[in-house]
């Protein structure tokens, strides 16, 4: 195409050059004294040529319009270096999230591996222009990773100091990880088998290796720095290492008041270990406190503006200002004991709380009738997954919390009907996650429509739901011919949009059909469950995936997904059984495999 146009254009240019020269010669002759009146034929010829030139010009304009049209139809791709610096910086900022963190997590939310982040550093090594843009954009460098006692940390430590400088005065996200060091495991093993004796310095629980101080990244020991997030991931082997407190002490001391928005401590525990309260050295709470060399007024000022607190093995005392004015509070199983008065004092101090995950038991129960309700108008996520004393903790908390009208996600384990029935009557529960739930027959008297109902546990109680939907004219669900029963909707307004049946040892096909038809279930997800159904030779419990999928296909009017899973991560959810989001993540991962 372009070659043909080039050849034609060359021919046109050559002919046009000859034509212009001929016109020039004609002009010169006429201006040289030729009598026009003596040559009427020449005058007519020149008039004709003038008219033809006008026609040629019109044709060339048409050709020009065609070329412009062809050019405009082709998408223009500008080189990336032609973009304005601020546009390129915004593109960098859009690409970076999720690629700048050291920690990679499994579906349970726990550390699966540490992988040295390639970004944003790699952006600064493409060309000199990209380097100027990247290093001159402070927002790219605000996430800082440190890996305690890990082979990656020397490079991470040097990187962190550069990042702290490049971020300028923007708030930082400090992420400290201890994924569990080899020498810590060897130390614990040596103590256990008697290879490390009392009196050896490394036998002391407070012992630290000398190179563990490689987290002090700020140029000045006196300067305060805007730190927005302080996040700590720990894998603990039988002891809470002293370096953890040194880390907290260092970053609390350098943190500018009024900036910290999230204080997060996660920990995976192996073996037994103590949990600790931290306190400033100026105002020790008790002899059991771990004291930090941080001024008390400075620490309290930090807590005053921190709306998100998630604590485990290391946390401020329950009476601290850290628990005032919160919008999100997670208290994980590894946290120190908390009394009932302390818990409800915290809740009253955070009336705008939106997320409460309380996964520990409570002690020092009070029968004070004046204790009164706790009003949490903005509550949207309430997680009371507590093992051991669960009924007491669940009952006492649900008895006093009064949520607002917002849709609420509720997560419970091992509860009794009396502990939750009243709560359902005054809460707008739209998503319910349960572990080993008892009878749910009462449920739809209180909340007729659920967006999500997730039932998790070996023994799923669908029968209590079915009792509400069996048509009495057709018979009883316990009849041998129960596969021929007719099911009626509870009511037009009673329904379950999405139902999860998770890790059940056995579920009957008839029960599934009854619940789908009776509650107008739109989507059903079944994970790692064996299916029982009637055959000509009697009932069978099927473990064959193909047969299970074939039998489920006989149920119509509902989207059904069945996902077998031969591997049950620790405690069914990778040990993170109290987090319903991990159930779904774990389930989804099966589908993707």
User: For the chain, which residues score pLDDT lower than 50?
Assistant: 472-477, 566-575, 588-593
Q: In residues, how long is the chain?
A: 593
**What is the predicted pLDDT for the residue at 566?**
44
Residue 564 domain-assigned (yes or no): yes
Cα 163 to Cα 144: distance, rounded to the nearest angstrom: 7
Residue 518 domain-assigned (yes or no): yes
The residue assigned the tokens 């079915």 is 466
> 589 to each of 102, 563, 574, 592, how far by Cα in Å?
22, 10, 12, 5
Cα 195 to Cα 189: distance, rounded to the nearest angstrom: 8
**What is the predicted pLDDT for the residue at 575?**
44
Which DSSP helix (H) or strand (E) runs through 183? Answer: helix 182-193
Cα 382 to Cα 396: distance, rounded to the nearest angstrom: 14
Q: Smallest Cα–Cα separation from 371: which of 344, 403, 335, 338?
A: 344
Provide the angle, in degrees to the nearest 10, between the axes of the packed helices 545-552 and 509-518. 30
- Report angle CA 188, 192, 194 to the nearest 5 degrees: 115
> 387 to each of 358, 361, 413, 414, how far by Cα in Å?
11, 8, 7, 8
Q: What is the DSSP string of 190-231?
A: HHHHT-S-TTSGGGSTT---GGGGTT---S-SS--B-EEEEE
CB within 8 Å of 120: residues ≥ 6 apart = 92, 96, 100, 134, 140, 141
DSSP 283: S
Q: What is the pTM of this model?
A: 0.80
**What is the predicted pLDDT for the residue at 325?**
95
State both tokens at 244: 């953890």
Q: SS3 of 500, please?
A: strand
Q: How many domains are there within the chain?
A: 1
120 preceded by a cis bond (ω within 30 of 0): yes
**What is the predicted pLDDT for the residue at 228?**
96
**What is the predicted pLDDT for the residue at 98?**
67
Query: Range of 546's domain?
Result: 451-470+491-570
Q: Smallest Cα–Cα separation from 472: which of 483, 461, 484, 488?
A: 488
Cα 31 to Cα 48: distance, rounded to the nearest angstrom: 19
Longest dimension (CA), the chain: 132
Residue 562 domain-assigned (yes or no): yes
**What is the predicted pLDDT for the residue at 225?**
94
Residue 351 has a CB neighbour count (10 Å cut-off) of 13
Chain centroid offset of residue 256 CA = 27
> 129 to each of 133, 136, 161, 492, how far by Cα in Å?
6, 11, 23, 64
**What is the predicted pLDDT for the residue at 115?**
78
**What is the predicted pLDDT for the residue at 20?**
87
In tens, the pLDDT along 447-471 reads 888 999 998 876 677 877 776 665 5
Residue 477 has a CB neighbour count (10 Å cut-off) of 17
State both tokens at 320: 């601290």
Residue 361 domain-assigned (yes or no): no
Do the Cβ atoms of 390 and 415 come closer than 8 Å? yes
Q: SS3 of 73, please?
A: helix
Cross-strand pairs, 331 = 311, 358
**What is the predicted pLDDT for the residue at 270?**
58
**What is the predicted pLDDT for the residue at 578?**
67
Residue 294 domain-assigned (yes or no): no
The four Cα atoms 150, 155, 157, 158 give a dihedral, to 10 degrees, of 170
Q: What is the DSSP string of 323-375?
A: GSS-SEEEE-TTSPPEEHHHHHHHHHT-TT--EEEE-S-EES----GGG--EE
Provide the angle, in degrees to the nearest 10, between the axes of the packed helices 128-135 and 85-95. 70
**What is the predicted pLDDT for the residue at 411?**
92
Residue 457 domain-assigned (yes or no): yes
Residue 424 domain-assigned (yes or no): no
Do the Cβ atoms of 258 and 301 come closer than 8 Å? yes
**What is the predicted pLDDT for the residue at 392?**
78
Residue 41 domain-assigned (yes or no): no
């Amino acid at each position: 195409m372009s070659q043909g146009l080039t050849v034609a254009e060359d021919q046109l240019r050559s002919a046009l050059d000859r034509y212009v020269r001929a016109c020039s010669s004609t002009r010169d002759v006429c201006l040289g004294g030729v009598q026009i009146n003596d040559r009427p034929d020449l005058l007519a010829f020149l008039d004709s040529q003038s008219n033809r030139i006008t026609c040629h010009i019109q044709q060339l304009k048409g050709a020009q319009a065609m070329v412009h049209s062809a050019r405009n139809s082709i998408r223009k791709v500008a080189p990336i270096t032609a973009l304005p610096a601020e546009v390129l910086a915004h593109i960098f900022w859009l690409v970076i999230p999720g690629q700048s963190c050291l920690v990679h997590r499994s579906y349970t939310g726990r550390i699966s591996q540490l992988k040295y982040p390639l970004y944003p550093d790699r952006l600064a090594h493409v060309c000199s222009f990209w380097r100027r843009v990247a290093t001159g954009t402070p927002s790219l460098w605000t996430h800082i990773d440190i890996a305690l006692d890990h082979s990656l940390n020397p490079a991470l430590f040097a990187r962190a100091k550069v990042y702290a400088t490049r971020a300028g005065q923007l708030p930082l996200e400090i992420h400290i990880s201890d994924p569990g060091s080899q020498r810590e495991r060897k130390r614990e093993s040596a103590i256990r088998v008697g290879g490390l004796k009392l009196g050896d310095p490394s036998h002391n629980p407070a012992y630290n290796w000398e190179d563990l101080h490689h987290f002090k990244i700020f140029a000045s020991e006196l300067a305060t720095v805007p730190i927005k997030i302080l996040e700590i991931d720990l894998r603990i082997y039988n002891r809470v290492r002293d370096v953890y407190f040194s880390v907290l002490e260092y970053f609390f001391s350098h943190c500018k008041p009024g900036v910290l928005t999230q204080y997060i401590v996660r920990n995976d525990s192996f073996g037994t270990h103590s949990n600790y309260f931290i306190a400033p050295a100026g105002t020790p709470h008790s002899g059991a406190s771990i004291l930090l060399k941080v001024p008390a007024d400075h620490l309290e000022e930090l807590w005053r503006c921190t709306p998100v607190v998630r604590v485990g093995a290391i946390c401020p005392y329950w009476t601290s200002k850290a628990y005032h004015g919160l919008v999100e509070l997670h208290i994980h199983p590894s946290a120190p004991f908390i009394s009932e008065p302390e818990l409800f004092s915290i809740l009253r101090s955070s009336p705008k709380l939106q997320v409460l995950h309380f996964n520990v038991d409570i002690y020092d129960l009070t029968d004070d009738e004046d204790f009164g309700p706790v009003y949490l108008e903005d509550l949207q996520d309430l997680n009371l997954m507590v093992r051991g004393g669960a009924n007491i903790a669940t009952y006492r908390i649900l008895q006093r919390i009064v949520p607002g009208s917002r849709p609420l996600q509720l997560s419970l384990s091992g509860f009794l009907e009396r502990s939750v029935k009243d709560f359902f009557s005054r809460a707008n529960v739209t998503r319910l996650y349960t572990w080993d739930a008892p009878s749910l027959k009462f449920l739809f008297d209180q909340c007729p429509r659920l967006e999500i109902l997730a039932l998790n546990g070996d023994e799923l109680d669908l029968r209590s739901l079915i009792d509400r939907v069996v048509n009495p004219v057709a018979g009883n669900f316990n009849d041998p011919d129960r596969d021929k029963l007719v099911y009626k909707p509870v009511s037009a307004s009673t329904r379950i949009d999405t139902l999860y049946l998770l890790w059940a040892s056995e579920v009957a096909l008839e029960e599934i059909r009854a619940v789908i038809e009776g509650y107008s279930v739109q989507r059903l997800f079944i994970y790692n469950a064996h299916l029982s159904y009637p055959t000509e030779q009697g009932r069978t419990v099927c473990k064959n995936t193909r047969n299970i999928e074939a039998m489920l296909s006989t149920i119509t009017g509902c989207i059904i997904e069945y996902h077998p899973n031969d591997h049950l991560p620790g405690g069914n959810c990778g040990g993170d059984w109290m987090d319903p989001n991990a159930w779904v993540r774990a389930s989804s991962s099966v589908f993707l495999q």
